[in-house]
Amino acid sequence: MTRTSEGTPEAAPPSELEREVVPDSPELPQQAAPPRAIVPRWVQLVLLPVVLFALWALAKAAGKVLLIFVIAAVIALILNPVVAFVQRPRIPRGLAVLVVYLAFFLTLVGVGFLLANPISNQVRTFTNNLPHIVNEANRTIASWQRELNDRGLHVEIVKQGKTALQSIQDKVAKSASKFVSFGGGLLTEAASAIFDLVLVFVLSVYMLVYGERIGRLVRRAMPEGDGTPADDYPILVQHAVSRYVGGQLLFSVLMGASAGLSLYVFGLIGIFPDGRKYALAFGMFYGVMELVPYIGPILGALPAVLVALFTDPIVALWVTLLFVGLQQLEGHVVAPQVFGHTLRINPLLVIFALLLGLQLHGVVGALIALPILAILRETVVYLSRHIELEPWDRTPGGLL
């Protein structure tokens, strides 16, 4: 250390080591990760089991109410990035929420108008051709009857076949009378479903409007992160849900396009002639049904298989084999590639979550099972980074 002319000490020039450690340009120091929160042993032994049991009892008692809130929360998490993007040009958050919902409904209406005309034409064509299809099926059955008679096998299948085809119309007529008798119950169920949908819509709007406050409340309730978006719990949860939605939409588009293109090819080469006419309708329906986990692929294949069955049972067998092949491709190639990069969850846990959701709340439970599983995964990963359980083995030879 040297001194100036006034006698004040002057700092010595930095050494070579100091010059390497301290950069020449001033930079903000990186924020260090906060220390882990220690969970005491008495909390692990007493409070944590009590809290978990209370949450289980509350969820069991809430039932449908909790399900409605969960669905609304998932919808809010899905739409929140779009609301934040619209809000950037200093638009009030409430107005941004209104714009997003209006754009969402207008998009649905626009897509409906674009697809309604070709799909309705195909459905109308199929309806007009239905009597011809039934007659062709009856002629095919009669041909089988003559073949069996020529071979000495006297089996009555013409009457049974015609009865089986004509019974569809009879069953429709009987179903109409049943709908009349149970009309009151159906109206009640429909009114309840509409009320639930409106409630989900209203709750999701409120959650989006107060999304920033909810985010601050969640941050206070969770252990403190390092201040970066990569370690911010609400952002991590939102990204997890967004990844699931993106993966699910991509998956549905790929499978719907594959089904429609395959049926169109079947129509071109003559295996399933009607597949060329109704490829768009069948592909759209199959893609939409892929949004329904577990039973969606089976429901999506039914219309094409039924139309093929009216044409020729052999054609129906080929179409069934086509959809079985698509489902094998879906389960072994497409789904692992798509959801492996989005959910980041073991496939066994995915299957367990789908089955559990289906068991608890039916198809709706299966629909929200994977978003909830993605949120739980992010929660466990976040807590494992910021919470540490106080060890019970305090001494080498004892538990305390």
Rounded-to-integer distance, Cα 193 and Cα 324, Å: 34
pLDDT above 70: percentage of residues in the chain:
71
Give the integer Cα–Cα distance in Å for 164 and 330: 34
Confidence class of residue 263 from pLDDT cuts 50, 70 and 90? very high
C-alpha–C-alpha distance, residues 259 and 301, integer Å: 9
> Of the ranges 29-38, 183-192, 307-316, which is most confident?
307-316
Top-confidence range, 3-7, 124-128, 143-147, 348-352: 348-352
Token output for 313: 């049972």
* Burial group, residue 80, by CB count within 10 angstroms (0-12, 13-18, 19+): buried
Alpha carbons 97 and 188: distance in angstroms, whole number: 31
Q: For residues 196 and 364, is the Cβ–Cβ distance under 8 A? A: no
SS3 state of residue 165: helix
Higher pLDDT residue, 5 or 363? 363
The residue type found at 338 is V
Q: What is the pTM of this model?
A: 0.65
Query: Is residue 174 over pLDDT 70?
Result: no
State yes or no: pLDDT of 157 exceeds 80: no
The angle subtended at Cα 130 by Cα 124 and Cα 136, nearest 5°, is 145
Q: Among 98-107, 238-247, 333-342, 376-385, where is mean pLDDT lowest?
A: 333-342
Nearest to 266 by CA among 319, 321, 310: 319
CA atoms within 13 A on the CB side of 161: 20
**Predicted local confidence at residue 4, as pLDDT:** 46
The pLDDT of residue 22 is above 50: no
